[in-house]
Amino acid sequence: MHICVLGAGVIGVTSAYRLLEAGHQVTLVDAAALPGSQTSLGNGAQLSYSYVAPLADPSVWTHWPEYLFSSDSPLTLRPKMDPAQWRWLLKFLAACNANRVRQTTIDLLKLAFFSRDQLQQLSQAVPFDFQHRTAGKLVMYTDAKGLEGARRQIDFQAQHGCQQEIVDAARCMQIEPALANAKRDWIGGVYTPSEEAGDCALFCRQLVDAMSQRQGFRFAHSQRIGKVEMRGGALTAVHAGQEQIAADAFVLALGAESAGFARQVGFTLPLYPLKGYSITVPLFDSANQAAAPQVSITDISRKIVYARLANRLRVAGRVELLGMDRSIPATAIDELKRGVDELFPGCGDLSDNSTLSPWSGFRPATPSGVPIIAAAPIKNLYLNIGHGSLGWTLAHGSATLLTELIDGQRTSIDASPFSFSA
């Protein structure tokens, strides 16, 4: 079967790989010249298999005024005259209850562990280097109440296969000596030794290069998807650039742009872009490298993540609900730079923004945080969307699950939590 995958971020690229492995002919289409050039380009780089708690949480209700009015809040909401934003927010608030969050966490953990296994399998099959390593992860806390809440969460997650521990501040410094220079009063942290990190964009490019050596695969790059062809309630072709691409089936993996494509073919997706930012700090010399962490770090109060990628430090943060504004305000980059200076002083020169590769991206999220991996209400169109900030973490399992669904196989994990509902 010829399958056309729409979108060459990490979700689309992994989908294309698994479909090709299953024996299908695959055309991968993207507007950019290189795969992984949008949201996958500057993401947080952490593969957080055990840290999948959704954004929708009962604590949202008490922090609502902060999200609306505080300039210091790591989660920013700017209400717009946009019906899609309000529909999403209402469903998001409905998902902010303890029972729903517990079930979401269980579903995401199952998909995350499956994804970890699939990436391990892929790494053995495809010889490439995307700076992937098991780095371990520390989630750092400055308040006792927050750490106690984390203890309850890891007790719950331990019932579902997670191996994590609460550690005091002294133990945190032993695990990651670079934290000793931080200008923060840490209470302690959550340590997960098995967590990983890797360069998502590099992964996408190397995997597409590997697929391009095989028959049955084509990367139609630099071709923005325009109008579509429909017949008998089925999608028969898409116009991409100057080309019309016909296929037996299509996979929608356009990230935040998936909602617009869905409207074009006649249905609505419960999807909204969560904007985030990152910088990538070059570690030029041995002093810089010694000052930077080896372990992945999350500063939970600031909602900033730090991940080591060879001789670079990826620093990412913020969640903004403000539509598809692609600008990168100086205040957002300054916030990340202050975070680096506060936690890891001396790890790099932060004076010249042009050396820091400032990035913004739209993490396409469903209200509950559970991605949609399922058949669409349009014949021969399949969905692999809505992973939010966990796209890199969940991509590999999602791609395999999608392929099993398309091929009518018994799925490796229960697919029902990821079904489509308008």
Among the residue ranges 66-70, 105-109, 287-291, the one predicted with the least confidence is: 66-70
Alpha carbon distances (Å) from 396 to 114, 374, 384, 387: 8, 15, 11, 12
With 80 as the cut, is the pLDDT of residue 194 above it?
A: yes
With 70 as the cut, is the pLDDT of residue 331 above it?
A: yes
**What mean pLDDT comes out for the span 304-328?**
93
Beta strands 381-385; 249-252: pairing state: parallel
Q: Give the C-alpha separation, 210 to 291, whole Å.
A: 36
Domains, the chain, with CATH or none: 2-40+201-267+368-418 (3.50.50.60), 46-101+132-196+272-365 (3.30.9.10)
pLDDT for the residue numbered 70 = 56
Q: Give the C-alpha separation, 218 to 3, whole Å.
A: 11
- Its pTM stands at 0.95
- Residue 191 tokens read as 């340590």
From first CA to last CA, the distance across the chain in angstroms is 28
pLDDT digits (tens, 9 = 90+) for 4-23: 999 999 999 999 999 999 99
pLDDT digits (tens, 9 = 90+) for 177-189: 999 999 999 999 9
Confidence of residue 104 (pLDDT cuts 50, 70, 90): very high
Confidence of residue 143 (pLDDT cuts 50, 70, 90): very high
Sign (positive or negative) of CA dihedral 275, 192, 300, 288: negative
Count of all residues that appear for the chain in the document: 422
Confidence of residue 68 (pLDDT cuts 50, 70, 90): low
**What mean pLDDT comes out for the span 369-390?**
96
pLDDT digits (tens, 9 = 90+) for 35-62: 999 999 999 999 999 988 888 888 776 6
pLDDT for the residue numbered 321 = 87
Amino acid at 84: A
Confidence of residue 82 (pLDDT cuts 50, 70, 90): confident
Look at 268 and 66; give whichever has higher pLDDT: 268
Mean pLDDT of the chain: 93
Confidence of residue 400 (pLDDT cuts 50, 70, 90): very high
Q: Give the C-alpha separation, 223 to 156, whole Å.
A: 46
Amino acid at 50: S
For 304, the 3-state DSSP assignment is: strand
**What mean pLDDT comes out for the span 140-167?**
94
Over pLDDT 90: what percentage of the chain?
A: 85
Q: What is the DSSP string of 194-235?
A: T-EE--HHHHHHHHHHHHHTSTTEEEE-S--EEEEEEETTEE
Run of H or E including 299: strand 296-299
With 60 as the cut, is the pLDDT of residue 33 above it?
A: yes
Alpha carbon distances (Å) from 157 to 153, 256, 280: 6, 29, 31
Confidence of residue 313 (pLDDT cuts 50, 70, 90): very high
Strands (E), 98-163: 133-134, 137-141
Among the residue ranges 88-92, 336-340, 382-386, the one predicted with the least confidence is: 88-92
pLDDT for the residue numbered 405 = 98
